[in-house]
């Protein structure tokens, strides 16, 4: 794209976002509906875009379709499809889900996490002692890394999209489970069911809780 075309595109993006904000209001954190059916999010981390493309290519996990990306003042903006749904947090706390629907949703999520964990890292590194003897270490697994109820969209008692992939990447196998507890939402039955399908990392969760109490959360300003 020429410099002139890039400038025109950036200017049009600014106008669309301004009009969208006036007409439709904010579309969530760092998001604006440029049109009724196409929210635009930004500024975004390039890692989030890469994660969405990777997950869309290698899994059947429902995520918003990416329509177009823009660069403006060296910042990335992503235009994607609008999904008419409710966050799992609102549906769960609002009493809009039956017990059977809650269990089905958690089972769905477990299957999606299993797909993520089944992905193979693009680069394999040696993990061991200096003389290549075995060592005790966690396996690396592809992880959403913020799989909390506000990032899970549901409709008619089913998961219809998982959003906000900017923290996704290769982490120790326990990280999906422990990181899901960072929000500390008052949903004890959610955490209980989550533990039943993703648990087995009680010691790691306890260690993370100690760190949460004593240190700043990852990504928070010091």
Q: pLDDT digit string (tens) for 102-153?
A: 999 999 999 999 999 999 876 665 444 445 555 557 888 999 999 999 999 9
Cα–Cα nearest to 140, from 113, 117, 171 = 171
What is the structure's pLDDT at 135?
A: 55
Tell me what the mean pLDDT of segment 198-211 comes to.
Answer: 86
Q: How confident is the model at residue 220 (pLDDT cuts 50, 70, 90)?
A: very low
DSSP designation for 82: -
Reported residue count of the chain is 222
19 or 192, higher pLDDT: 192
What does the DSSP assignment read for 89-118? HHHHHTT-S-HHHHHHHHHHHHHHHHHHHT
Question: Is residue 155 pLDDT above 80, yes or no?
Answer: yes
Q: Please say whether the beta carbons of 129 and 137 come within 8 A.
A: no
Question: Is residue 73 pLDDT above 70, yes or no?
Answer: yes
- pTM, entire model: 0.79
Q: Please say whether the beta carbons of 103 and 196 come within 8 A.
A: no
């Amino acid at each position: 794209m020429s410099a002139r075309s890039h400038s025109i595109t950036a200017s049009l993006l600014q106008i669309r976002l301004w009009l969208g904000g006036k007409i439709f209001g904010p579309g969530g954190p760092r998001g604006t509906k440029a049109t009724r059916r196409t929210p635009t999010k930004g500024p975004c981390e390039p890692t989030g875009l890469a994660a969405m493309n990777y997950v869309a290519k290698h899994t059947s996990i429902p995520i918003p379709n990416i329509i177009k990306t823009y660069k403006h003042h060296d910042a990335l903006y992503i235009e994607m499809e609008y999904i008419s749904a409710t966050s799992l947090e609102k549906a769960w706390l609002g009493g809009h889900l039956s017990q059977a629907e809650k269990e089905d949703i958690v089972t769905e999520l477990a299957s999606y996490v299993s797909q993520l964990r089944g992905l193979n890292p693009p680069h394999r590194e040696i993990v061991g002692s200096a003389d290549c003897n075995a060592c005790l270490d966690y396996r690396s697994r592809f992880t959403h890394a913020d799989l909390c109820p506000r990032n899970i969209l549901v409709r008619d008692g089913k998961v219809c999209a998982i959003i906000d992939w900017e923290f996704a990447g290769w982490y120790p196998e326990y990280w999906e489970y422990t990181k899901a507890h960072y929000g500390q939402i008052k949903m004890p039955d959610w955490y209980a069911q989550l533990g039943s399908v993703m648990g087995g990392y009680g010691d790691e969760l306890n260690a993370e809780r100690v760190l949460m109490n004593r240190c700043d959360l990852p990504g928070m300003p010091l």
